[in-house]
Amino acid sequence: MSAHSATTATTAADTAAVELAIGGMTCASCAARIEKKLNRMDGVTATVNYATEKAKVTYLGADVSVEDLIATVEATGYTARPPAPPASTASPGSNSTDPAGAAAPSEDDELTSLRQRLITAVLLAVPVIAMAMVPALQFDYWQWLSLTLTAPVVVYAAWPFHRAAWTNAKHGAATMDTLISVGTSAAFLWSLWALFFGTAGMVGMTHPFELTIARSDGAGNIYLEAAAGVTAFILAGRYFEARSKRKAGAALRALMELGAKEVRVLRDGVETTIPTAELQVGDRFVVRPGEKIATDGTVVEGSSAVDASMLTGESVPVEVTTGDTVTGATLNAGGRLVVEATRIGADTQLARMAELVEDAQNGKASAQRLANRISAVFVPIVIALALATLGFWLGNG
């Protein structure tokens, strides 16, 4: 799965907060399981958001460590990233290591894999569904062609569902992947039995499209279109979901990339170019016309017009002079400025804006919390109903 940045901060003398990147979640019930496990730990309050794949955890630093939190998540069957080092010396847009940016290749790989599986499933499932639903297309031995087309869908395209279901089963859990894996596997395996050991493989076998229910021994029925169709539809949902999450992450990374990459610092009256990440509070740096201001600070020399539209939306540049404050990532549209850095890294206005965006993404609406609670019991209930239905039919011959 994709992974995002993780940050940690102390909120009180003995309380700390950490934001972990969670991997391996495939549905809302996964997030509910992780949240439940973390909240069972003493002194821990956690909120896990499936959409952003993050866990925001508040814990007692004296009793619980980040390693304990990660171990709990991994014991549940998922992965968690430890927090990145504090970004006190890194400014937005600097060349410092950015976990969110580092996650982009893995997100691309995930999206590419999903797209390949989706294309495979759709191309093969469409003719299978058509042959099953349209009797005119059911030529001699059409059922064997359906088997040939369905096999790659169930084995290759649906592999992420089977893998996730097996992982969850090893930890005594059931998720939506369990339903998908069990359902498609049951439909495929029954069809195999009917084709090889029943009457479904005989020449002239047809699969009429009917809206009525009639009792039969099942040996002449195949359900390959169900296995292929369900896989294709679920993969389509997973693909569009992953693409929307990638776009949201890209927007946040674009916000952080607004800052300057390098800055000219005055050292003993000489301009020295350094990465923005090395800038310290109190350093004086030069901003020439057309350059971005490296970080938040106060103008100590010169006057100019500063274009802050990228942050504030104001279309008219604001005049600044000695003593005025300026914001990092804004554009110097006029004369030469000498600015003294007052805030760097995570303390800048741009970084705080990005933090607010992330906090908004990590928050859960009441409807989302209700959906998580329902998903936690939905899968066991469906499996129980399926077993009860099987028992009823077997008991009644």
DSSP 3-state helix, strand, coil percentages of the chain (rounded to 5)? 50, 15, 35
Residue 102 contacts residue 198 (beta carbons within 8 Å): no
Positive or negative: CA dihedral 249, 250, 256, 261: positive
Cβ distance 182 to 244 under 8 Å?
no
Cα distances from 102 to residues 61, 107, 360, 368, in angstroms, run 28, 9, 22, 29
Amino acid at 295: T
Which uninterrupted H or E stretch holds 340? Answer: strand 337-343
Give the C-alpha distances (Å, rounded to integers) separating 303 from 284, 300, 321, 332. 15, 9, 4, 10
The token duo for 17 is 């907060």
How far is the C-alpha of 245 from the C-alpha of 107, rounded, in Å?
A: 9
pLDDT of residue 397: 66
Q: Where are the alpha helices (DSSP H) in 171-258?
A: 176-196, 224-256
Strand-pairing partners, residue 17, are 9, 58
Distance, CA of 174 to CA of 169 (rounded, Å): 7
| Per-residue pLDDT, 101 | 47
Instruction: Quote the pLDDT of residue 361.
Output: 66
CB neighbours of residue 97 within 10 Å = 12
pTM: 0.70
Which residues lie below 8 Å from residue 269, measured CB to CB, with a gap of 6+? none
Instruction: Give the amino acid at 387.
Output: L
Domain assignments of the chain as residue spans, ordered by start: 15-81, 108-208+219-254, 262-345
Tokens matching residue 320: 């600044």
| pLDDT number for residue 362 | 64
pLDDT of residue 269: 80
Integer Cα distance of 231 and 152 in angstroms:
11
Q: Shortest CA distance to 299 belongs to which of 289, 284, 314, 277?
A: 284
Question: What is the domain class of 262-345 according to CATH?
Answer: mainly beta
Q: How far is CA 228 from CA 123, 152, 160, 234, in A?
A: 10, 9, 14, 10
3-state secondary structure of 346: helix
pLDDT tens for the chain, 397 residues: list them. 444 444 445 444 578 888 888 888 887 778 888 888 899 988 888 888 887 788 888 888 777 888 889 999 988 888 898 755 544 434 444 444 444 444 555 567 788 899 999 999 999 999 999 999 988 898 989 999 999 999 999 999 999 999 988 988 888 778 888 889 999 999 999 999 999 998 888 888 887 777 776 666 677 889 999 999 999 999 999 899 888 877 776 766 777 777 788 899 988 888 888 988 888 998 999 999 988 898 999 999 999 999 888 777 777 888 999 999 998 888 888 889 999 999 988 888 888 887 777 777 666 667 766 766 776 688 888 889 988 998 998 888 6
pLDDT at residue number 86: 46
Q: Looking at domain 15-81, does it have CATH number 3.30.70.100?
A: yes
- Amino acid type, 276: T
Among 347, 346, 298, 350, residue whose Cα is nearest residue 325: 298
Q: Do 336 and 305 contact (CB within 8 A), yes or no?
A: no
Burial classification of residue 273, based on how many CB atoms lie within 10 Å of its CB (0-12 exposed, 13-18 middle, 19 or more buried): exposed
Can you give the C-alpha Rg of the chain in angstroms?
29
Closest-CA residue to 310 (of 293, 286, 335): 293
The pLDDT, as a whole number, for residue 77 is 85
> Rounded distance, CA 163 to CA 178, Å?
9
Helix (H) or strand (E) holding 45: strand 44-49
Task: Read off the DSSP letter of residue 18.
Answer: E
